[in-house]
Amino acid sequence: MIKHLPSLAILAVATGIFAAAPAAHADSLYGPLSVTVWTGSTVPTEASLPTPGGTPTFTFNYTGPLDFVNNTMSANTFGDFFGSYSSGITGLTSAQLTTLLGTTMSTSGYGITSYLSFVGTYTGGGAVSISHDDGTSLYTGTGYMNNVISSPNPTSEITTTGTLPMGTNTPFDLIYVEANGAPADLVVTGLSPVPEPGTIGLLALGMIGLGALMYRGSAFNS
């Protein structure tokens, strides 16, 4: 029984390593991302650069997957849009967060429109797709000069595809416009998450611990 303790310890460390890493699934993108929102009756209905003029309605950070689906036709608030992922929103006071989640994203007849800009970085490249009910665009590179996906006009639920250039910590700006009432859907696949510094540190410590336990286990068995 004692001889199996090193193996059990190694398994525990390995489990910790995988637990420290973000869960990898098709629609995952972990930030933090910088999110800027404009909403109102004068916000443009096209999801393209440049961003709207004037002071943004909200600015905050978001960490989590870009996997937002609100098909509830009776409600169309930011709370309905972010859903359970609203716990990944930071940079707002409690009162500001309550206001954000209770704010209507859009109304029928284009009375209210919301323009959202998600800015961050990705590592990797290749195929990328966005399922969206209204306009979306994806720009990459310095100054966001490379337009990877362009479907800026309001639409019914569709999927738009593109190809990300290969890169490491490459900047991107993902734009989504919600217009003309619910639904409000935005699901991104194909963007690789960029680990946060804290996660990298946990992985490094885990690897060091794993190596030490393997060495001790080898010495013990010999």
Average pLDDT of the chain is: 81
215, pLDDT greater than 80: no
Q: Which residue has the higher pLDDT, 209 or 145?
A: 145
Least confident of 38-47, 144-153, 199-208: 199-208
**Top-confidence residue, 28 or 154:** 154
| Exposure letters 52-69 (e unless 16+ CB within 10 A, then b) | beeeebbebebbbbbbbb
Give the per-residue pLDDT at 164. Answer: 95
For 14, list phi and psi in degrees, rounded to 5: -60, -40
Q: What is the C-alpha separation between 131 and 187, in angstroms, rounded?
A: 5
**pLDDT number for residue 160:** 97
- CB contact at 8 A, 174 and 140: no
pLDDT computed for residue 197 by the predictor: 55
Higher pLDDT, residue 74 or 155: 155
pLDDT digits 0-9 by tens, 22-72:
333 334 557 789 999 999 999 999 999 999 999 999 999 999 999 999 998
**pLDDT confidence of residue 23:** 37
Q: Which of 151, 28, 43 is nearest to 103 (CA)?
A: 43
70-74, 116-120, 177-181, 198-202 — which is least confidently predicted? 198-202
Looking at residues 151-171, what average pLDDT do you find? 94
Say which CATH topology domain 27-191 has. Jelly Rolls (2.60.120)
By mean pLDDT, which of 17-21, 39-43, 168-172 is the weakest?
A: 17-21
With 60 as the cut, is the pLDDT of residue 107 above it?
A: yes
pTM: 0.77
